[in-house]
Chain A
Amino acid sequence: MNVLGLSFYYHDSAAALVKNGVLVAASAEERFSRKKHDSGFPELAIEFCLEQGGITINDVDFVVFYEKPFVKFERMLLTAMATFPKSAAVFRESMQRWISDKLWIKSMMSKRLSVPRSKFLFADHHVSHAASSFYTSPFEEAAILTVDGAGEWTTSTMAVGRGNKIEVLKEMRFPHSLGLLYSAFTAYCGFEINEGEYKLMGMHPYGEPKYCDEIYKLLDVAEDGSLWHDMRYFTYHHSTNDTLSPLFEEHFGRPRRDPKHQDTSLDPYYCDMAASIQRVTEEILLKMITHLHEITGLKKLCLAGGVALNSVANYKLMREGPFEDVYIHPAPGDDGCSAGAAYWAYNHLLDQPRGPALEHAYLGSEHGDESIRSFLEANDIPYRKIADDEEFFDFVARTLEAGHVCGWMRGRCEWGPRALGSRSIIADPRRMEMKEKLNSKIKFREAFRPFAPSVVEERADEFFEIPEPERHWPARFMLYVAPVREEKREVLPAITHEDGSGRLQTVYRQTNPAYHRIIERFGELTGVPVIMNTSFNLKGEPIVESPAHAFNTFSLSGMDYLFMNNFIVEASAKKKIAETVFHLRHDGDSVTQMVS
């Protein structure tokens, strides 16, 4: 049985194919369309999934959309009415989108895919999140917590997964939302909503959590972690372009940070605010999972939703929370809902047995040697190839040891927002100057932004405070920020963040042998089986997918080498080629887009 899951018309549209209970292909549309956070119909991702699955659209038994548009439409109308007449502008803006596009999703999908209407199913947004995490986890039964900005009405769900069924126990509803609270502070600290949240997270180690008490005055937080916002301080429920009311700024005694500063400056006040909202978020999440543990009595936890991208909080939940094991899907945001929707239909609705756990996130497209060679030769790009793998890996490791920054493209693209060694820029983490070099000459981004380490799973505990690393699946997907061991911080200056932490990726020989071997070889040469890993893209660009994308990004940046499979392209070969257009995106969503 083939079930195609789709998510689109919000941000990060994506497609995922579940074939007989196995997630065989999944990709965000942006990888193909080259539009960052592409929210349009994921035509190219669908095409890829079907091709990867070896089927045609006629072989698909069900197409499942990741949320229920009518219920969300209901929320838009009722919210606009409850805040009328202040909501007049947001009502007008959102209705234009709804009545021209979003209401007709089923018809549009039926027409675009040539699939009869009877094959379409609609999953609840947060159930899609929950399913994405539980059904791909190694747990037979688990408590599930989903937290994001807003789905239809729901902003957070507590659920239980047992076998092939998911039961929702509790939910929190719009406008009270931990995700939207975090986004509000993202805006307050001068970043774009639905874009700059991770910058806020990256900024928090530079501050002290001095304002937690003041933040709590805006909220009523119950013992179960549920929130009740004092809506006098927020405007996202009725404004088109503002999340905060003047009362919010009055409350904190400082205006919001000018967005034009982006992250070029680190005003201590806003760093403290970032640290404070991070602390509050962690405390609320901890309350939620503690309560969830109490009411379920289960030992395993599955996390999902956009808030589960907060890898700092994830690690603390794992260390300080009551659950023995935690699992997070590699795409916990809305893109992952496409996989969740497909799983929900397959397992829960159609009562099919569970498939295997998701051991890796390499579910995207792949380019073989012939594809790479023909690209290089067609564009007259000088290259060389080391046919022997071991010899090639040795060359790569030595290149890194020599202080070169390299583009690395090999195998299937990663599913989710993280580069996990298929489309990565890699460098030597022992060199402090690498951080600045990558930020300023290659990624063209803010100086304070940290870089992630990839470490071989067998030796992860040696460098990071992550005992029994094989138990911690989220680390495979780079979803934990763990402390770098005290004695190793000087060894790994380029990946050690201000607070001594690092967003590590544990690399497994079984799931990515080439990448594992590179790191291992680098360890053999240097004694440090850790390399710097950042996504293979420029700031605002989607992660590269094809050889053309990789070469173009390589040419536009200060990288020294480009490795595509066993092909080696040196910096002297850089040039501009025409067919790799992409859209840089530095702005976030409007407030209307965020809530609709």
Chain B
Amino acid sequence: MKALNILLAVLVSAGIALGVAEAGLRALGFAPAEVNTEFDPELGWRKTPGKTIERSTGEYAVTLTNDGAGLRDDYDTLAPAPEGAQRALFLGDSFVVGYTVNREDLFVDQLERALQAEGRPVEIMNAGTQGYSTDQSLRWLELNGEAAAPDLVVYFAYENDIWWNQSPTYMGQDKPLYGSDGVLVERTLAAPAARHWSRASAIGEAYYRLLGAPSMPLVTAGEISISAELSSRLTAPPAAVLEAEARTRALIAAMSARCTALGARFAVCPIPSRTQIAAVEVGEGAPLDPARPHGIFIEAAKSAGAAIIDPRGALEAVTSDAPPYYRRDFHLNAAGNVALAGSLHEALDGAGLLPPRAEGTPRILPTGPAYPGARPPAWLLWYLGLTAALGLLYTRTYPDEGGFVGFGRVSALLAVVFGTALGVTSLVEVLPPQASQVTVLGLVITILTFVLYKLGDRVGTIAELLRSFTLRGHWYLMPLLSVLLTVGSLLVVAASSPLVAPFIYTLF
């Protein structure tokens, strides 16, 4: 019985330690990513019909819902458009599926709303899937084109598609591959290994990301090494990149041919990268040209006889007042989606690829969504809730100070805490990605240094304690000790401040 109790207690203490680590890692952004895709023997992967996931980072929080047809849309099955209506089919990757924006912000839905408001009999089918390169978009069209029966196909290209177009795998996962002649290489795609159970936790995910995840390949040209995804920026690319670019051209040509076979018109919209929009003009002989991938797509579209939609101007126009991209994530934000939708509206209309507006209907430009009333930010609710709870505790613990003073002190302290947290968050968002990482790292180091400074020679005591337990054979208590020492250290640090100590005593 005693052994059972000890076992139980060890398990519980280990559980507590793991729980603390899990919460900490989740706070640091290592929460296991939810997945809304599944293996597809033809496409490599496809969106799982009916699946909904939530994705959030410091920059965005989105809900991704797949419909019954496995699209981020509102279909039950793939079927031709209703009688009298035209169908535009949008193909592409995470930009099209809207991996970082909610649907009301996504350019696909904004454009559809604007067109329908203009009385145009058109609906847009969003067939974008995250991680797809050109070959997968083509394969999707080959497999589902007849069922979808589009009148117009728009392929949204992004620079990283080029590299993967020559690869049989994407980050370790099998995908379709076409030859330089635009013909599918016949082979059986292997289903990925089942996701390891440990990756359901932040601890497992952190381990996977730090040690187990396949790393992005690098391409070297002369003295420059660059991520393979960005390798088409090289002004003197190596043979492998040239091969990828050739295949990309072949794929766009094949896509055009397929559209022709389906009786649909075809357009290509290369989405520029954030670097391309922000970059100063590249000088003669520069080793990297962020606009080069864009040019490859334009050239390929021209060769394939496709209409070309170039949203650069629209995106550059919004750069000065509201950046179209997120600071850290490379995707378009809501403002960028509005600009892209407007650019598409103008280009498609100008190219005559859309049915005309209803008689007497004014031109309606895509705009941002009309939200049903602004909600108070989450931090404000937390602030008020904590002020109420801690204020009550504080005034009950120190009744002599009076309720007003007590609540005042609590709200002031929480204001400092929240202000610091929000300030740091804002700073991180404002700073360039690399600078923000350095800032966060610096902040963590500063906090740890402060804690160590406050602990002083207690650090020696901690080391002595751990050594004592280890030498006495109680190594199995380390998880519990870790938790207790962490809490104890924080208590020591907090209690050393005359401002904070009363709150700590209140809590304990």
Contacts and interface: CB of A to CB of B under 8 A. Distances in A.
Decide whether A and B assemble into one complex: yes
Interface string A472-506: 00000000000000000000000000000000000
A314 to B, nearest CB: 35
A99 B5 contact: no
Contacts of B487: 99
Contacts, number: 71
B6 A103 contact: no
Interface stretch (A73-81, A261-269, A344-352, A438-446): A73-81
Contacts of B5: 81-84
Interface stretch (A39-47, A104-112, A185-193, A456-464): A104-112
A100 B488 contact: yes
Given A74-B474, A81-B5, A81-B6, A104 B461 contact: yes
A95 B465 contact: no
Nearest to B7: A81
Contacts of B12: 84
B483 to A, nearest CB: 10
A371 interface: no
Contacts of B481: 77
B485 A99 contact: yes
Taking chain B's interface residues, is the majority helix, strand, or loop, or is none over half, making it mixed?
helix
Taking chain A's interface residues, is the majority helix, strand, or loop, or is none over half, making it mixed?
helix
B392 interface: no
Interface in B446-501: 456-458, 460-461, 464-465, 468-469, 472, 474, 477, 480-481, 484-485, 487-488, 491-492, 495
Given A100-B488, A100-B491, A81 B458 contact: no
Given A104-B461, A106-B461, A107-B458, A99 B488 contact: yes
Contacts of A374: none
Sorting the interface of chain B by its residue count into under 10, 10 to 19, 20 to 34 or 35 or more gives: 20 to 34
A77 B477 contact: yes
B2 interface: yes
Interface string B1-40: 0100110111011000000000000000000000000000
A104 B464 CA distance: 11
A296 interface: no
B404 interface: no
Contact of B492 (A81, A98, A104, A106): A104
Contacts of B9: 80-82, 84
A128 B110 CA distance: 81
B492 to A, nearest CB: 7
A117 interface: yes
A103 B508 contact: no
Contacts of B10: 81
A300 B458 CA distance: 44
Interface in B206-226: none
Given A78-B474, A82-B2, A82-B5, A107 B465 contact: no
Contact of B484 (A78, A81, A95, A117): A95
A70 B6 CA distance: 19
A96 interface: yes
A593 to B, nearest CB: 17
B322 to A, nearest CB: 49
Given A82-B6, A84-B5, A99 B484 contact: yes
B8 A84 contact: yes
25 contacts: A70-B465, A70-B468, A74-B469, A74-B477, A78-B6, A78-B474, A81-B10, A81-B13, A82-B2, A82-B5, A83-B5, A84-B9, A98-B488, A99-B487, A100-B488, A100-B491, A100-B508, A103-B461, A103-B488, A104-B458, A104-B488, A104-B492, A107-B457, A107-B460, A111-B456
The list of the 9 closest CB pairs from A to B, nearest first, reads A81-B9, A99-B488, A84-B9, A70-B468, A107-B458, A107-B457, A81-B6, A82-B5, A100-B491
Given A80-B9, A98-B488, A104-B492, 16 more contacts: A70-B464, A70-B469, A74-B472, A77-B474, A81-B6, A82-B2, A82-B6, A100-B491, A103-B461, A103-B485, A103-B488, A104-B458, A104-B461, A107-B456, A110-B457, A117-B457
Interface of B: 2, 5-6, 8-10, 12-13, 456-458, 460-461, 464-465, 468-469, 472, 474, 477, 480-481, 484-485, 487-488, 491-492, 495, 508
